[in-house]
Amino acid sequence: MIEVLKNHITNRLGKLPDNVEVVLPHFEPLMVPRGAYLLKSGDICRYVYFIVEGCLQVFVIDKSGHESTREFYAEEQWVTDIFGFQNQSPSTEFIKSVEPCKLLRIHYDNFQLLSQQVPQFAAIYKQILEVSYNNTVYRVNTLTSMDALERVKWLMEHKPKIMSRLSSKLIASYLGISAETMTRLKSKL
């Protein structure tokens, strides 16, 4: 599993950094079954996860008990509750596996140490933050201006793998529509 991370770092930086061997031992392999929670609302987020295989859902639950998915993350993506992780404060989000996953995780203390001691690691973290922010803002801004059918078409065009990998209920949560509406719209396409 660590080879996947090594290749990912090399691709991000354009070359294998000199001190990659200092970074890699700080990552711990983790296998989780479908439906496992890596983080629950109210918990302190102690890890950043790198997905080797599988898919994770980051979501919140509103006062009525409805899930609202912020994002799905799959192979070679990084996942954490950025605000909760940075501030070591209680999370408002949940992180759950929606498929069996092979993950590599790094603890907050090791993450902070590497960010200070290894400039290339800090550069990757900055990229992670920028990509996460840009994706979230783009998705929110794009989807809020669309009706339900346009949202489904947007997802089919921009993230087709989600449509084939995940249930209609999960996709509906991501698009901000009901599962019934999602099922009805899929039958029209």
At residue 189, the pLDDT reads 72
Q: What is the mean pLDDT of residues 160-189?
A: 86
The residue type found at 181 is: T
Distance between CA 111 and CA 93 in Å, rounded?
20
pTM over 0.75: yes
The answer, yes or no, to whether residue 10 has pLDDT greater than 80, is no
Cite the beta strand spans of the chain per DSSP E: 28-32, 37-39, 47-53, 56-61, 67-73, 78-79, 94-97, 101-107
Fold for 2-133, please state it: Jelly Rolls (2.60.120)
What length does the chain have? 189
Q: How confident is the model at residue 30 (pLDDT cuts 50, 70, 90)?
A: very high
Name beta bridge partners: 61: 67
- Domain boundaries along the sequence of the chain: 2-133, 146-189
Name beta bridge partners: 95: 39, 58
The answer, yes or no, to whether residue 9 has pLDDT greater than 80, is no
Distance between CA 19 and CA 5 in Å, rounded?
14
Share of the chain above pLDDT 70, in %: 97
* Helix 108-117 and helix 119-144, axial crossing angle in degrees, nearest 10: 120
Q: 110-144, pLDDT tens digit by residue?
A: 999 988 888 777 777 777 778 777 877 887 788 88
Cα atoms in the Cβ-side hemisphere of radius 13 Å centred on 15: 3
Q: What is the mean pLDDT of residues 79-88?
A: 91
Q: How confident is the model at residue 187 (pLDDT cuts 50, 70, 90)?
A: confident
At residue 13, the pLDDT reads 67
